[in-house]
Amino acid sequence: MTNLSQSPDGMHGYHDNNVAVRTLMIVFTSIALYNAIELLILLFLTFTRYRGLYFWTLLLSVILGVVPHAIGYLLAPLWFSLTLSTIGFYVMVPGQSLVLYSRLHLVVNDNKVLRFVLWLIIIDAIILLIPTTVLTFCASFVGNPSMIFGYNVMERMQLAWFCAQEILISGIYIVETVKLLRMMPDKDRRRSRIMYELLTINFVIISLDICLLLVEYIGLYSLQTTLKAMVYSIKLKLEFGVLGKLVDLVQTHRSQPTSSEHEEYPGFVDPSQITTDITHAAPRESRSGGRRGWNTLSMESLPSSERRIRPSTQSTDDSMHPS
Protein backbone atom coordinates (compact mmCIF):
# COMPACT_ATOMS: atom_id res chain seq x y z
CA MET A 1 0.00 0.00 0.00
CA THR A 2 1.44 3.37 -1.05
CA ASN A 3 -1.62 5.59 -0.54
CA LEU A 4 -1.69 6.71 3.10
CA SER A 5 -5.37 7.73 2.78
CA GLN A 6 -6.44 4.12 2.24
CA SER A 7 -7.07 1.64 5.03
CA PRO A 8 -4.18 -0.81 5.42
CA ASP A 9 -4.66 -4.08 3.58
CA GLY A 10 -5.56 -6.59 6.27
CA MET A 11 -6.39 -4.16 9.06
CA HIS A 12 -9.79 -5.84 9.42
CA GLY A 13 -8.31 -9.28 8.92
CA TYR A 14 -6.69 -10.87 5.92
CA HIS A 15 -9.33 -11.92 3.38
CA ASP A 16 -7.31 -12.40 0.20
CA ASN A 17 -6.60 -15.87 -1.20
CA ASN A 18 -2.86 -15.39 -1.67
CA VAL A 19 -1.50 -18.76 -0.54
CA ALA A 20 2.05 -17.47 -0.09
CA VAL A 21 0.96 -14.67 2.23
CA ARG A 22 -1.29 -16.97 4.25
CA THR A 23 1.48 -19.53 4.57
CA LEU A 24 3.99 -16.94 5.74
CA MET A 25 1.51 -15.58 8.28
CA ILE A 26 0.99 -19.07 9.71
CA VAL A 27 4.75 -19.72 9.79
CA PHE A 28 5.51 -16.40 11.52
CA THR A 29 2.77 -16.92 14.12
CA SER A 30 3.82 -20.53 14.78
CA ILE A 31 7.47 -19.58 15.30
CA ALA A 32 6.49 -16.73 17.62
CA LEU A 33 4.31 -19.00 19.77
CA TYR A 34 6.95 -21.75 19.83
CA ASN A 35 9.65 -19.30 20.92
CA ALA A 36 7.34 -17.86 23.59
CA ILE A 37 6.54 -21.27 25.07
CA GLU A 38 10.18 -22.35 25.01
CA LEU A 39 11.34 -19.10 26.62
CA LEU A 40 8.65 -19.38 29.29
CA ILE A 41 9.86 -22.88 30.22
CA LEU A 42 13.50 -21.78 30.24
CA LEU A 43 12.70 -18.88 32.53
CA PHE A 44 11.23 -21.06 35.27
CA LEU A 45 13.94 -23.69 34.86
CA THR A 46 16.77 -21.15 35.00
CA PHE A 47 15.70 -18.73 37.74
CA THR A 48 15.62 -19.92 41.33
CA ARG A 49 14.21 -16.63 42.62
CA TYR A 50 11.36 -15.06 40.69
CA ARG A 51 12.19 -11.40 41.19
CA GLY A 52 14.10 -8.54 39.64
CA LEU A 53 13.53 -6.30 36.64
CA TYR A 54 15.21 -8.72 34.24
CA PHE A 55 13.00 -11.68 35.21
CA TRP A 56 9.72 -9.79 35.23
CA THR A 57 10.29 -7.89 32.01
CA LEU A 58 11.15 -11.14 30.24
CA LEU A 59 8.16 -12.97 31.73
CA LEU A 60 5.65 -10.23 30.95
CA SER A 61 7.09 -9.67 27.47
CA VAL A 62 6.38 -13.33 26.71
CA ILE A 63 3.02 -13.90 28.45
CA LEU A 64 1.39 -10.50 27.92
CA GLY A 65 3.44 -9.40 24.92
CA VAL A 66 4.40 -11.94 22.28
CA VAL A 67 1.50 -14.36 22.80
CA PRO A 68 -1.40 -11.85 22.69
CA HIS A 69 0.13 -9.96 19.78
CA ALA A 70 0.71 -13.16 17.81
CA ILE A 71 -2.80 -14.57 18.18
CA GLY A 72 -4.76 -11.33 18.50
CA TYR A 73 -4.63 -10.54 14.80
CA LEU A 74 -6.10 -13.95 13.94
CA LEU A 75 -9.14 -13.72 16.23
CA ALA A 76 -12.60 -12.20 15.91
CA PRO A 77 -14.56 -9.99 16.48
CA LEU A 78 -12.60 -6.95 15.43
CA TRP A 79 -12.79 -5.07 18.76
CA PHE A 80 -11.44 -8.10 20.62
CA SER A 81 -8.69 -8.66 18.06
CA LEU A 82 -7.54 -5.04 18.20
CA THR A 83 -7.67 -4.93 22.00
CA LEU A 84 -5.66 -8.13 22.41
CA SER A 85 -3.02 -7.22 19.83
CA THR A 86 -2.73 -3.68 21.26
CA ILE A 87 -2.14 -5.01 24.78
CA GLY A 88 0.48 -7.35 23.36
CA PHE A 89 2.21 -4.49 21.57
CA TYR A 90 2.17 -2.35 24.73
CA VAL A 91 4.05 -5.01 26.69
CA MET A 92 6.16 -6.59 23.96
CA VAL A 93 7.87 -3.60 22.37
CA PRO A 94 8.74 -1.40 25.38
CA GLY A 95 9.28 -4.62 27.34
CA GLN A 96 12.04 -5.70 24.98
CA SER A 97 13.80 -2.38 25.51
CA LEU A 98 13.47 -2.82 29.27
CA VAL A 99 15.04 -6.27 29.02
CA LEU A 100 18.06 -4.68 27.36
CA TYR A 101 18.09 -1.89 29.95
CA SER A 102 17.95 -4.32 32.89
CA ARG A 103 21.38 -5.71 31.98
CA LEU A 104 22.93 -2.53 30.61
CA HIS A 105 24.65 -1.75 33.92
CA LEU A 106 26.89 -4.79 33.41
CA VAL A 107 28.76 -3.01 30.63
CA VAL A 108 28.01 0.66 31.40
CA ASN A 109 29.29 2.35 34.57
CA ASP A 110 27.92 5.82 33.79
CA ASN A 111 24.72 6.47 35.75
CA LYS A 112 23.83 9.35 33.43
CA VAL A 113 23.70 6.98 30.47
CA LEU A 114 21.58 4.48 32.41
CA ARG A 115 19.11 7.17 33.50
CA PHE A 116 18.94 8.56 29.97
CA VAL A 117 18.05 5.14 28.53
CA LEU A 118 15.40 4.51 31.19
CA TRP A 119 13.70 7.87 30.70
CA LEU A 120 13.91 7.45 26.93
CA ILE A 121 11.99 4.17 27.16
CA ILE A 122 9.34 5.65 29.49
CA ILE A 123 8.79 8.86 27.52
CA ASP A 124 8.71 7.12 24.14
CA ALA A 125 6.13 4.63 25.42
CA ILE A 126 3.86 7.46 26.60
CA ILE A 127 4.06 9.74 23.58
CA LEU A 128 3.86 6.96 20.99
CA LEU A 129 1.56 4.25 22.34
CA ILE A 130 -1.41 6.39 23.40
CA PRO A 131 -1.89 8.37 20.13
CA THR A 132 -1.37 5.25 18.03
CA THR A 133 -3.98 3.34 20.03
CA VAL A 134 -6.57 6.11 19.63
CA LEU A 135 -5.92 6.36 15.89
CA THR A 136 -6.05 2.55 15.50
CA PHE A 137 -9.57 2.26 16.91
CA CYS A 138 -10.75 5.41 15.13
CA ALA A 139 -9.43 4.20 11.77
CA SER A 140 -11.02 0.77 12.29
CA PHE A 141 -14.50 1.81 13.49
CA VAL A 142 -14.94 5.39 12.26
CA GLY A 143 -13.21 4.99 8.91
CA ASN A 144 -12.78 8.72 8.35
CA PRO A 145 -10.11 9.38 5.67
CA SER A 146 -8.30 11.82 7.95
CA MET A 147 -8.28 9.19 10.71
CA ILE A 148 -6.93 6.57 8.34
CA PHE A 149 -4.25 8.94 7.10
CA GLY A 150 -3.28 9.82 10.67
CA TYR A 151 -3.11 6.14 11.62
CA ASN A 152 -0.93 5.23 8.63
CA VAL A 153 1.51 8.03 9.43
CA MET A 154 1.57 7.41 13.17
CA GLU A 155 1.89 3.65 12.85
CA ARG A 156 4.93 3.97 10.61
CA MET A 157 6.49 6.65 12.78
CA GLN A 158 5.89 4.59 15.92
CA LEU A 159 7.56 1.49 14.50
CA ALA A 160 10.51 3.50 13.15
CA TRP A 161 10.93 5.31 16.48
CA PHE A 162 10.91 2.11 18.54
CA CYS A 163 13.35 0.49 16.13
CA ALA A 164 15.63 3.53 16.45
CA GLN A 165 15.38 3.27 20.23
CA GLU A 166 16.40 -0.39 20.20
CA ILE A 167 19.20 0.32 17.75
CA LEU A 168 20.44 3.06 20.10
CA ILE A 169 20.47 0.71 23.10
CA SER A 170 22.13 -2.00 21.04
CA GLY A 171 24.66 0.57 19.86
CA ILE A 172 25.51 1.40 23.48
CA TYR A 173 26.06 -2.30 24.13
CA ILE A 174 28.31 -2.56 21.09
CA VAL A 175 30.42 0.49 21.98
CA GLU A 176 30.84 -0.45 25.63
CA THR A 177 31.57 -4.09 24.80
CA VAL A 178 34.27 -3.07 22.34
CA LYS A 179 35.82 -0.91 25.08
CA LEU A 180 35.81 -3.86 27.47
CA LEU A 181 37.34 -6.15 24.87
CA ARG A 182 40.21 -3.70 24.36
CA MET A 183 40.94 -3.66 28.10
CA MET A 184 40.43 -7.36 28.52
CA PRO A 185 43.47 -9.66 28.83
CA ASP A 186 43.71 -12.27 26.11
CA LYS A 187 43.89 -15.01 28.73
CA ASP A 188 40.18 -14.91 29.60
CA ARG A 189 38.76 -16.74 26.61
CA ARG A 190 35.34 -17.37 28.19
CA ARG A 191 34.86 -13.67 28.90
CA SER A 192 35.96 -12.74 25.40
CA ARG A 193 33.61 -15.30 23.84
CA ILE A 194 30.62 -13.99 25.79
CA MET A 195 31.47 -10.41 24.81
CA TYR A 196 31.68 -11.39 21.14
CA GLU A 197 28.33 -13.18 21.46
CA LEU A 198 26.90 -9.99 22.94
CA LEU A 199 28.18 -8.04 19.96
CA THR A 200 26.67 -10.58 17.57
CA ILE A 201 23.17 -10.57 19.05
CA ASN A 202 23.06 -6.79 19.02
CA PHE A 203 23.99 -6.77 15.33
CA VAL A 204 21.26 -9.39 14.75
CA ILE A 205 18.75 -7.22 16.65
CA ILE A 206 19.59 -4.25 14.46
CA SER A 207 19.24 -6.39 11.31
CA LEU A 208 15.83 -7.72 12.40
CA ASP A 209 14.60 -4.20 13.13
CA ILE A 210 15.68 -3.04 9.68
CA CYS A 211 13.86 -5.98 8.03
CA LEU A 212 10.72 -5.16 10.00
CA LEU A 213 10.89 -1.54 8.87
CA LEU A 214 11.28 -2.57 5.24
CA VAL A 215 8.19 -4.79 5.37
CA GLU A 216 6.23 -1.98 7.04
CA TYR A 217 7.17 0.71 4.54
CA ILE A 218 6.59 -1.58 1.56
CA GLY A 219 2.97 -1.77 2.69
CA LEU A 220 2.65 -5.45 3.59
CA TYR A 221 0.52 -4.80 6.67
CA SER A 222 -0.61 -8.38 7.28
CA LEU A 223 2.89 -9.80 7.03
CA GLN A 224 4.32 -7.00 9.16
CA THR A 225 1.83 -7.66 11.96
CA THR A 226 2.64 -11.36 12.24
CA LEU A 227 6.33 -10.88 11.49
CA LYS A 228 6.61 -8.43 14.38
CA ALA A 229 5.68 -11.07 16.96
CA MET A 230 8.19 -13.52 15.50
CA VAL A 231 10.99 -10.93 15.40
CA TYR A 232 10.48 -9.91 19.02
CA SER A 233 10.31 -13.53 20.19
CA ILE A 234 13.65 -14.20 18.50
CA LYS A 235 15.20 -11.09 20.02
CA LEU A 236 14.01 -12.05 23.50
CA LYS A 237 15.49 -15.53 23.15
CA LEU A 238 18.83 -14.17 21.98
CA GLU A 239 18.96 -11.67 24.81
CA PHE A 240 17.99 -14.28 27.39
CA GLY A 241 20.80 -16.57 26.26
CA VAL A 242 23.68 -14.11 26.13
CA LEU A 243 22.64 -11.62 28.81
CA GLY A 244 22.18 -14.53 31.19
CA LYS A 245 25.75 -15.65 30.51
CA LEU A 246 26.97 -12.10 30.96
CA VAL A 247 25.44 -11.65 34.42
CA ASP A 248 26.69 -15.07 35.50
CA LEU A 249 30.18 -14.13 34.37
CA VAL A 250 30.11 -10.80 36.21
CA GLN A 251 28.77 -12.34 39.42
CA THR A 252 31.41 -15.08 39.33
CA HIS A 253 34.16 -12.55 38.68
CA ARG A 254 33.06 -10.33 41.58
CA SER A 255 32.25 -13.03 44.14
CA GLN A 256 35.42 -15.08 44.05
CA PRO A 257 38.81 -15.06 42.35
CA THR A 258 38.87 -17.20 39.26
CA SER A 259 41.66 -19.43 38.16
CA SER A 260 42.66 -16.82 35.60
CA GLU A 261 43.27 -14.33 38.41
CA HIS A 262 45.86 -16.68 39.89
CA GLU A 263 47.60 -16.98 36.56
CA GLU A 264 49.08 -13.49 36.67
CA TYR A 265 52.39 -14.69 38.06
CA PRO A 266 55.45 -16.02 36.24
CA GLY A 267 56.13 -19.71 36.47
CA PHE A 268 58.94 -19.34 39.03
CA VAL A 269 56.80 -17.41 41.54
CA ASP A 270 54.92 -19.18 44.33
CA PRO A 271 51.84 -16.98 45.11
CA SER A 272 51.56 -18.48 48.60
CA GLN A 273 54.84 -16.81 49.57
CA ILE A 274 53.72 -13.29 48.62
CA THR A 275 53.00 -11.38 51.83
CA THR A 276 51.66 -8.11 50.39
CA ASP A 277 48.90 -7.09 48.03
CA ILE A 278 50.70 -6.58 44.74
CA THR A 279 47.51 -5.52 42.94
CA HIS A 280 47.35 -2.14 44.69
CA ALA A 281 49.96 0.49 45.37
CA ALA A 282 51.06 0.83 48.99
CA PRO A 283 50.37 4.11 50.82
CA ARG A 284 53.11 6.73 50.61
CA GLU A 285 54.01 6.48 54.30
CA SER A 286 54.50 2.72 54.03
CA ARG A 287 56.71 3.08 50.96
CA SER A 288 58.91 5.94 52.14
CA GLY A 289 60.58 4.25 55.09
CA GLY A 290 62.19 0.88 55.49
CA ARG A 291 63.43 -1.58 52.97
CA ARG A 292 61.20 -3.90 51.00
CA GLY A 293 61.10 -7.44 52.35
CA TRP A 294 63.20 -9.90 50.45
CA ASN A 295 60.17 -12.04 49.60
CA THR A 296 57.91 -9.13 48.59
CA LEU A 297 57.38 -9.22 44.84
CA SER A 298 56.01 -6.61 42.48
CA MET A 299 54.75 -7.33 38.98
CA GLU A 300 56.16 -3.99 37.82
CA SER A 301 59.65 -5.10 38.84
CA LEU A 302 59.53 -8.08 36.50
CA PRO A 303 60.71 -7.85 32.91
CA SER A 304 57.97 -7.71 30.33
CA SER A 305 58.92 -11.13 29.03
CA GLU A 306 58.04 -12.62 32.42
CA ARG A 307 54.63 -10.95 32.75
CA ARG A 308 52.99 -13.32 30.33
CA ILE A 309 50.12 -15.47 31.46
CA ARG A 310 51.19 -18.86 32.68
CA PRO A 311 49.55 -21.29 35.10
CA SER A 312 50.99 -20.90 38.58
CA THR A 313 52.64 -24.02 39.88
CA GLN A 314 54.00 -24.93 43.24
CA SER A 315 57.77 -24.60 43.16
CA THR A 316 59.69 -27.67 44.21
CA ASP A 317 62.98 -25.85 44.64
CA ASP A 318 63.37 -25.32 48.42
CA SER A 319 66.24 -22.98 47.80
CA MET A 320 63.85 -20.41 46.37
CA HIS A 321 61.57 -20.52 49.41
CA PRO A 322 63.66 -20.98 52.54
CA SER A 323 61.77 -21.41 55.77
Lowest mean pLDDT among 154-163, 186-195, 239-248: 186-195
pLDDT band at 179 (very low <50, low <70, confident <90, very high): confident
How many angstroms separate the Cα of 54 from the Cα of each of 51, 93, 186, 206, 278?
A: 8, 15, 30, 21, 37
CATH for 19-256 is 1.20.1070
What span, in angstroms and rounded, lies between the C-alpha atoms of 111 and 113? Answer: 5
Contact (CB, 8 A) for 107 and 253: no
Domain ranges of the chain: 19-256, 262-315
Q: What is the pTM of this model?
A: 0.74
Lowest mean pLDDT among 13-27, 49-63, 92-106, 286-300: 286-300
- Average pLDDT of the segment spanning 260-266: 42
Query: Three-state SS across 108-158?
Result: CCCHHHHHHHHHHHHHHHHHHHHHHHHHHHHHHHCCCHHHHHHHHHHHHHH
What span, in angstroms and rounded, lies between the C-alpha atoms of 22 and 267? Answer: 66
